[in-house]
């Protein structure tokens, strides 16, 4: 490096930034490598090239003439970073709202399924009662012992609606309930699939490799501390046990 003059290094940096081979990260890394590269990497022409390449939309924005090109790049970089963070937060909020709406929809479908299930159970029970009443009504026309006949007559008298017409209504209601349950089940399965997709998308939006690694490191550290404390208490190496041992009187041999 010391063998090359500044002119060649300047030309290398200019070509690297113009061709997109060197980014602002590379210039910042070179700036901390040595004093000479620090001086060369602060060349306004380099940062002007990066400014035009990275932020072409802000080329015609007004700015203070006294502001250096590198400072102007930093300002626009931070502004663009804040814009990206805001867009990411909006995307997370939108994904969270979709997850919440999907869970609410699943709750509504579960309530509808429970309601239709109760209707179906009640209709089936009433249909069974009417079938028994109809059978008892037919049996009254046949000679039977008085005890059996009295029981069947009681069943018929308890039925206060026309049996045949009510049977048709109940069969239709059971059919409709089964259709509704099938529709709700299909909608429930589809919504459950959507919720799984929404959760995956939300997890992907919230995922941050560095933050996730940092959080896992903290959890591992806390776990090791808890294990060490548990081991100290178990084997008598803790502060309470140590204090108890020190308080024992010394016995001479």
pLDDT tens digit sequence for 51-102: 889 888 766 666 666 678 888 899 899 999 999 999 999 999 999 999 999 9
Average pLDDT over residues 188-202: 95
In order of 32, 85, 205, the CA distances from 94 in angstroms are 41, 14, 11
Name the nearest CA neighbour of 189 among 99, 108, 96, 109: 109
Under the banding of pLDDT at 50, 70 and 90, the label for residue 106 is very high
In the prediction, which pLDDT does 224 show? 61
pTM, entire model: 0.61
The overall longest dimension of the chain from CA atoms, in Å, is 126
In the prediction, which pLDDT does 169 show? 81
Residues 23-41: tens digit of each pLDDT: 989 999 988 988 888 898 8
**Residue 216 predicted with pLDDT over 70:** no
**Residue 159 predicted with pLDDT over 60:** no
How far is residue 98's CA from residue 16's CA, in Å, rounded to a whole number? Answer: 45
In the prediction, which pLDDT does 243 show? 46
In the prediction, which pLDDT does 3 show? 75
Mean pLDDT of all residues belonging to the chain: 77
What share of the chain has pLDDT > 70, as a percent? 64
The position carrying tokens 């939108």 is 94
Angle between helices 163-206 and 69-139 (to 10 degrees): 160
**Residue 245 predicted with pLDDT over 60:** no
Average pLDDT over residues 149-155: 53
In the prediction, which pLDDT does 206 show? 85
In the prediction, which pLDDT does 220 show? 57
In order of 58, 76, 151, 173, 250, the CA distances from 61 in angstroms are 5, 10, 97, 71, 83
């Amino acid at each position: 490096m010391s063998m090359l003059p500044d002119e060649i290094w300047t030309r290398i940096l200019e070509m690297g930034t113009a061709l997109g081979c060197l980014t602002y990260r590379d210039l910042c890394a070179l700036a901390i490598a040595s004093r000479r590269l620090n001086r060369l990497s602060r060349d306004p022409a380099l940062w002007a090239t990066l400014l035009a390449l990275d932020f072409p939309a802000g080329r015609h924005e007004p700015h203070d003439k006294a502001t250096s090109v590198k400072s102007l790049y930093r300002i626009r970089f931070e502004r663009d970073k804040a814009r990206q963070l805001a867009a990411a937060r909006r995307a997370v909020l939108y994904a969270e709202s979709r997850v919440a709406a999907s869970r609410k929809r699943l709750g509504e479908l579960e309530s509808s399924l429970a309601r239709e299930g109760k209707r179906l159970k009640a209709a089936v029970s009433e249909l069974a009662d009417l079938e028994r009443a109809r059978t008892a009504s037919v049996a009254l026309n046949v000679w039977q012992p008085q005890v059996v006949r009295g029981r069947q007559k009681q069943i018929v008298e308890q039925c206060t609606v026309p049996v045949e017409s009510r049977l048709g209504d109940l069969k239709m209601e059971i059919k409709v309930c089964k259709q509704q349950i099938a529709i709700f089940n299909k909608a429930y399965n589809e919504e459950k699939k959507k919720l799984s997709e929404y959760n995956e998308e939300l997890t992907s939006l919230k995922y941050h490799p560095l933050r996730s690694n940092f959080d896992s490191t903290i959890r591992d550290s806390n776990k090791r501390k808890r294990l060490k404390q548990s081991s100290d208490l178990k084997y008598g190496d803790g502060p309470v046990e140590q204090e108890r041992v020190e308080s024992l009187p010394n016995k001479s041999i």
